[in-house]
Amino acid sequence: MSTGTTVARALGVFSLGLGLYQLLAPRRFNELIGVPPNDDGIRATRLVGARELGAAGGLLASPRAATWPWMRVGGDLMDAGLLARAMAARETQRDRIAIAMVAVGGIALLDTLAGMLVASESGPQGTTTTTEVGTRRVRRAVTVNIGRQAAYDEWHDFSRLPRFMQHLESVEVVDERRSHWTAKAPAGTSVEWDAEITEDIPGEVIAWQSTDGSAIANTGRVTFKDAPGDRGTEVHVELEYAPPLGPIGAMAARLLDEEPAVQVADDLRRFKHIVETGRVPWSDGTMGDRKLRQRPAQPSTTPASQPIAA
C-alpha cells in the first residue's frame, strides 16, 4: 500500500469519528472548542459533521482518489472561517477557539500533503507504492521516437544521466560495472553512494543497485520495449529506495519537490525532449513546446527481482 493511500485512509477514519461526534453530540463538541452551544451553533456543527461523514465515505471507499483530500482542504478553510466568526461573538471562550484554529491549521496541512501524495502516486503513466519493508517503489514510463538500441545507449553511459536527471550532480563511471553517484539533497546539500550494474542486456534492459553501506539504499531498472505500431520505444523505469525518516521523510520530500516519484516523471520528460530534438531544454516549460501524439507507455506490473532492504 502506498504512503498516500495509507494517509488517505487514516484521514477517512478521523473524518468518520469526528463527523459522528459532531452529529451525535453537537452541544458537547461546541463546548469543547469554546463555541456557545446555542441553536445556530448546534445546527452549524451538525452540518459540518455531515460533511465530515461524506468525506469519510469518499476517503475510505476511494483512498487513491486525490479529490477527497482536496475537498477536505476546502472544508478546513470553511471551518477556519466559522471559528474566526465565532471568535468575534459574545459568550465565546477565545482561548479554546484559538486552540481549535491551530488544530484546524495542522489538519489542513496534513490534508494538503495527502492530496499531493495521492496525486503523485497515481496516474496513467506511473505508480508509487510502499513495500512491506518500508521502501518506496516508483514506476514510470515514457514513449520516445527512437529505436530500442539508441534509447538503451543513452542510459547505458551513466555519466550522461545528469543531462536529463536534474537531481543528479554527477555520475563517475569507475569500470564496466561500478560507478559513483552524487545527487542533490535539500538545503543545498548533496548525498553520495556507489552502485554496481546487476543486469545488462543491450537494447533490452539495464539494472543497478547501491553497494552495501551507501547513504541511501536504492535499486534501479530500465527496460526498453518496441512501442506498438512501430512508433518508437517504450522506456520503463523502476526505482526502489529507502527514504530517510520513512513515510515522514517521503511526505516532507514531496512537499519540497524532492520526491523521487516526481523527479523521475520530470526526468523522463527531459529525456524524451533530448533524444527526440537533440537539445537540452532550458527549463521544464520548454518541453511543452513539442509533444508527439503517441500511445503512453504503461509501467510494468512485474515486481522488482531484487527488492532492497530498508
Distance of CA 249 to the CA centre of its chain: 12
pLDDT tens per residue, range 105-128: 999 888 887 777 676 555 444 566
Measured in residues, the chain has a length of: 310
Going by pLDDT thresholds of 50, 70 and 90, the confidence category of residue 237 is very high
Please state the rounded mean pLDDT for residues 276-280. 82
Going by pLDDT thresholds of 50, 70 and 90, the confidence category of residue 66 is low
Greater model confidence, 275 or 190? 275
Which residues, 6 or more positions from 85, have their beta carbon under 8 angstroms from its beta carbon? none
Going by pLDDT thresholds of 50, 70 and 90, the confidence category of residue 251 is very low
71-75, 106-110, 131-135, 238-242: which range is least confident on average?
Answer: 131-135
